Homo-oligomer: A and B are copies of this chain.
């Protein structure tokens, strides 16, 4: 088995367990909360990966007693903790160069072939995107505030804020594009009308 296999999910999990012991359910929650602006995992990925990591001794399952210790926690939950080997593996991965998947956009695919279709529909798509990005900006602000107040002195604070800042800049760029493009599409529609007249 290659060391890079399943890289993304493995290290997202190791990273989270590096902060504190968690269950699969906790990891899922974190991935649709704190991490959701740049990472998300489904159960179908998480549970099998936890099993693999445990087999490789990069994490270990804490005894049930410890798992049930927290108030409100179910006895059925399995708490996992990172091992020293896990921390080393994480550090190695963290220093390796990130490999991003190529950007893809169904939106831009529609825009590129826009002349073949309805300019009206395109403008609707752009409008919808603008709304989504606006909502995203609001959620970044909310999360930034929450992290600052809930973990003001946590040493990771500047790193967390940096990821949020990325999202913010990204959404602002998208919004700028939406505004520009609505205008352009308006003009394109007029030009087409004139051509047909």
Contact = CB atoms under 8 A, between A and B. Distances in A.
Interface of A: 7-8, 11-12, 15, 18-19, 35, 37-40, 87, 90-91, 94-95, 97-118, 121-122, 125, 128-129, 155-156, 158-160, 162-163, 165-166, 169-170, 172-174, 176-177, 180-181, 184-185, 187-188, 192, 195
A167 to B, nearest CB: 8
21 contacts: A8-B104, A15-B112, A18-B113, A35-B112, A38-B105, A90-B116, A94-B114, A94-B122, A95-B117, A98-B129, A99-B106, A100-B105, A111-B163, A112-B163, A114-B156, A155-B192, A158-B188, A162-B185, A165-B180, A169-B177, A170-B170
A181 B155 contact: no
A31 to B, nearest CB: 11
A94 B112 contact: no
Nearest to A101: B104
Given A109-B8, A112-B15, A118 B104 contact: no
Contact of A176 (B99, B100, B116, B169): B169
